[in-house]
Amino acid sequence: MSAPENGVGEGTIGARIEAAIESIRPYLQKDGGDIEFVRFEQATRTCEIRMIGSCEHCALAPLTLRAGVEQALIYKVPEIRRVERVR
C-alpha cells in the first residue's frame, strides 16, 4: 500500500498540487475564502484539501469544490483522480 504524498520538494506531486492551488487561490480569496493542501493519497489518487475562511461554511462550497477546484487541480496535476474536502 502506498503512503500519502505530502512532500513539497521540487517536482513532487505535493509541490505541483501546491503550485496549482496557488494559481486558483486568488479567486477564492476575493470572497474571503481559501483552501489548503492536506495530503495526496497515492493509492486512490485522491487529493485532500481543507476549505477555510468563508469557503468553510458557504452553501456553494460543494459546487466550488467540484466545478472549480477539482477541475483545476486535475487539469494541472493529471495524477489526481478526485479531490475531497476534509475538515
Hey, what domains does the chain have and what are their CATH numbers?
4-85 (3.30.300.130)
Determine the pLDDT at residue 11: 75
In this structure, how many other beta carbons lie within 10 angstroms of the beta carbon of residue 2? 10
φ, ψ (nearest 5 deg) of residue 80:
-75, 130
If one compares 72 and 3, the residue with the highest pLDDT of the two is: 72
**CA 61 distance to own-chain centroid:** 13
φ, ψ (nearest 5 deg) of residue 22:
-60, -35
DSSP state of 48: E
Grid coordinates in use for 60? 456553494
- Average pLDDT estimate for 18-37: 95
Percentage above 90 pLDDT, the chain: 83
- Average pLDDT estimate for 12-34: 95
Identify the bridge partners of residue 84 per DSSP, sorted by sequence position.
48
- Give 63-80 pLDDT, tens digit per residue: 999 999 999 999 999 999
